[in-house]
């Protein structure tokens, strides 16, 4: 029994180690922060050298990149997209708007904290973050995955009721 | 241009600058004015929106139309009462007025007669408060009540 557990743990560790080298990213570009994605993924900063490439469908992506403010209309779509993704999946909150509302702190439509509604693994601060900061965020995520600490999707499964309740509060579901 | 407009429009016509003409009309003449302006080569609706004059208890509906040919912008304004506000639709004159009119319903609570999507939610799904662009709507209060904020101490080094 013990041997099997050890083997399984080792297996997961190896998987994590490999997984961090090939991350496909779904950008949810609904806000101004999306402006920094083209330089990040094209030749100048070239995120693909870290194995991070943009992808088009939610079913096959690993990272959900939320670029900027999330209002009540987009939050609903965002949750649908997140729940469509297959685990393991990671959420990156991008820009100060996802952290505390940013310059939209007094808006009637913008939710202020993304982590109440989706389990965020890494936040990238800045309005808007430069490509270097974005790459730093990606590297942090890779490190967390390697150490087995990027467990947002497990948290979402375990605390499903908590997240749903928060979502219901703003979306009036 | 002003002379031509004065000939077809019932209402006050002011020339602010050679390229900015302001036309103030009654609510009943709003759609017909725009129809007449379209015949005068004002073929593009740039904006249709409302302004809340809460002290006078009125909304001002503003339409900006542009003439590509003469390079002139005309601003058509009309006032409607703030209680139970209604205007006529413009979609048969300028089809792109459709979403502007949906926005009038959502953001100001102005019902647009003849627009099938008027008063349907577009951005604010499940909204149950005052329309948010009215002057008596308190955005900060609403945001603090509905969206939880993060309590953090900011440290500068
Ligand atoms: S953090 Fe700044 S750049 Fe990003 S969405 Fe908010 S306002 Fe736009």
Burial of A152 (C-beta count, 10 Å sphere; 0-12/13-18/19+): buried
Average pLDDT, chain B: 89
Contact status, residue A148 vs residue A22, Cβ threshold 8 Å: no
Residue A66 tokens, joined = 């939320």
Cβ distance of A76 and B132 shorter than 8 Å? no
Per-residue pLDDT 10s for chain A (173 aa) are 677 788 787 888 888 888 888 889 888 887 888 888 888 888 888 888 888 888 888 898 989 989 888 888 889 999 999 999 988 899 999 888 888 888 888 888 888 888 899 999 999 988 888 999 989 999 999 999 888 888 888 999 999 999 999 898 888 76
State the distance from the centre of ligand 1 to the C-alpha of A71, rounded, in angstroms. Answer: 12
B143 and A CB contact within 8 Å:
yes
B154 and A CB contact within 8 Å:
no
Between CA A79 and CA A165 the distance in angstroms is 13
Atom 8 of ligand 1, nearest CA residue: A32
B151 and A CB contact within 8 Å:
no
With a 6 Å cutoff on the Cβ, whether A129 touches ligand 1 is: no
B95 pLDDT tier (thresholds 50, 70, 90): very high
B123 pLDDT tier (thresholds 50, 70, 90): confident
* Selection from B89, B51, B4 nearest residue B13 by Cα: B4
pLDDT given for residue A173 in this prediction: 62
Q: A26 vs B1, which has greater pLDDT? A: A26
Segment B105-122, tens digit of pLDDT: 999 999 999 989 888 888
Segment B5-63, tens digit of pLDDT: 888 888 888 888 888 999 999 989 899 999 999 998 899 999 999 999 999 999 999 99
Residue A122 tokens, joined = 């890494």
| Test the B interface: residue of A108, A117, A123 with most B CBs within 10 Å | A108
With a 6 Å cutoff on the Cβ, whether A96 touches ligand 1 is: yes
* Selection from B126, B87, B122, B88 nearest residue B107 by Cα: B122
């Amino acid at each position: 029994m013990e041997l099997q557990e050890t083997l399984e743990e080792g297996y997961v560790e190896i998987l994590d180690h490999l997984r961090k080298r090939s991350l496909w990213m779904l950008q949810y570009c609904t806000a101004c922060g999306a402006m920094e994605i083209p330089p990040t993924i094209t030749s100048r900063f070239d995120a693909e050298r870290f194995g991070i490439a943009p992808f088009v469908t939610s079913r096959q992506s690993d990272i959900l990149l939320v670029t900027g403010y999330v209002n009540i209309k987009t939050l609903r779509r965002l949750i649908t997209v997140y729940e469509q993704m297959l685990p393991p999946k990671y959420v990156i909150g991008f820009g100060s708007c996802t952290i505390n509302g940013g310059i939209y702190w007094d808006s009637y439509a913008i939710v202020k904290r993304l982590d109440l509604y989706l389990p965020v693994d890494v936040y990238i601060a800045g309005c808007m973050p430069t490509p270097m900061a974005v790459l730093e965020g990606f590297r942090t995520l890779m490190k967390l995955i390697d150490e087995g600490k990027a467990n947002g999707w497990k948290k979402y499964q375990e605390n499903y009721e908590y997240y749903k309740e928060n979502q219901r509060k703003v979306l009036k579901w | 241009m002003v002379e031509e407009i004065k000939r077809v429009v019932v209402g006050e016509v002011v020339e602010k600058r050679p390229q900015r003409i302001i036309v103030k009309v009654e609510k009943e003449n709003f759609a017909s004015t725009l129809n007449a302006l379209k015949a005068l080569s004002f073929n593009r609706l740039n904006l249709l929106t409302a302004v809340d004059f809460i002290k006078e208890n009125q909304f001002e509906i503003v339409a900006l139309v542009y003439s590509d040919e003469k390079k002139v912008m005309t601003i058509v304004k009309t006032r409607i009462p703030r209680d139970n506000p209604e205007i006529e639709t413009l979609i048969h004159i300028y089809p792109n007025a459709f979403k502007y009119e949906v926005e009038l319903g959502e953001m100001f609570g102005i019902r647009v007669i003849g627009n099938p999507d008027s008063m349907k939610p577009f951005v604010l799904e499940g909204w149950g408060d005052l329309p948010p662009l009215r002057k008596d709507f308190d955005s900060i209060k609403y945001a603090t009540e509905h969206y939880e904020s993060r309590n953090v101490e900011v440290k500068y080094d």
